[in-house]
Amino acid sequence: MGTQRIRNELGDLANKPLVEAIFELRWSLDENVDESWELLPGLYYSKVRDQYPHLENLPISKVPAQMALDIVRHRFRPEKDSWPLIQLGPGVLTVNETGGYTVWEEFLPRIVSAVKALSDVYPEFRIKRAELRYINAVPFDIQSESLIEFLSDKLHLRVEPPELFDGEDTTSMASNAHIQLDFPLKKPKGLGGVSVALGEKDNQPGVIFHLLVRSDRPEVPEDPEKLEVWAGDAHDIIDEWFMTFCEGKLLRQFKETSV
């Protein structure tokens, strides 16, 4: 598809559509969750405090761990309300970045160091799921634009609804959409997903599209040291899909310094 060539020419997009980049890791929990969890947040903080010195305890952190599995309870930030951040809960770890995201080569080391810190203080954990997700937003006003035409012209998603109203153009009448497409992947083994829906970014209406790669056990590597390879392969898929969906008008728009 030549998308790598296009990516190399574009570099970091001056007007990138990124809302948030998210890496999420989940692991299996034993029956004694409350006991195994009790010391983990403090031990983890001791490993990441040089980069993320601001610790934010969420209200749910007061609930027994056994009653709130796979839900983040603590956030680690460079400073209050800043990004990027790490989130930690019983059985779940995430690394999140928003507008400060520049290139993958800067985000990947954050993922690797966050996972290594967990492995250092909790060496017995075994991965059961890994996910890499990019959430993007493109300005769109349903009051003045055709949603069907936008999807076709800008994202190359062709939706051709039948004529549902006598004498009226159904294509121009669509007022909402939620499209979800999932595909099996070979490298990395798992699932690749694309979803498109209407939403908002910075209180402005737009089309929100997610690109994700997810692998579950047994396809995800249980060894944390092998996760860097998985993350690189997952990013290659997402980057290829992003360039394919946005090639043309949207990429030119993203490259410009102003909309």
Q: What is the mean pLDDT of the chain?
A: 89
> Which one has a higher pLDDT value, 251 or 190?
190
DSSP codes, 143-199: TTS-HHHHHHHHH---------STTS-GGGT----EEEEEEEEETTEEEEEEEEEEE
- Do 230 and 111 form a contact (C-beta atoms < 8 A)? no
| CB-neighbour burial class of residue 187 (10 A; exposed 0-12, middle 13-18, buried 19+) | exposed
CA distances from 65 to 46, 125, 225 (A): 20, 16, 27
Stretch 236-250: mean pLDDT: 93
Percent of the chain with pLDDT over 90: 64
In the predicted model, is pLDDT for residue 87 greater than 90? yes
Q: pLDDT tens, 11-58?
A: 567 788 999 999 999 998 877 776 778 899 999 999 999 999 999 999
Q: Taking residues 66-73, what's their average pLDDT?
A: 92
For tokens 């954050």, what's the residue? 110
| pLDDT for the residue numbered 259 | 42
- DSSP letter at 226 equals G
Q: How far apart are CA 171 and CA 161, in angstroms?
A: 7
The domain segmentation of the chain, as residue ranges, is 1-20+131-159+170-259
Say if pTM beats, i.e. exceeds, 0.85: yes
- Note the pLDDT tens digit of each residue in 88-137: 999 999 999 998 998 899 999 999 999 999 999 998 888 999 999 999 99
**At residue 146, what is the residue type?**
S
Which residue, among 222, 245, 88, has the nearest Cα to 156 in the 3D structure?
Answer: 245
HSE-CB at 102 with a 13 A cutoff on CA atoms is 4
- Judge whether residue 142 has pLDDT over 50: yes
The token duo for 24 is 């999420």
State residue 252's pLDDT score: 87
pLDDT for position 1: 43
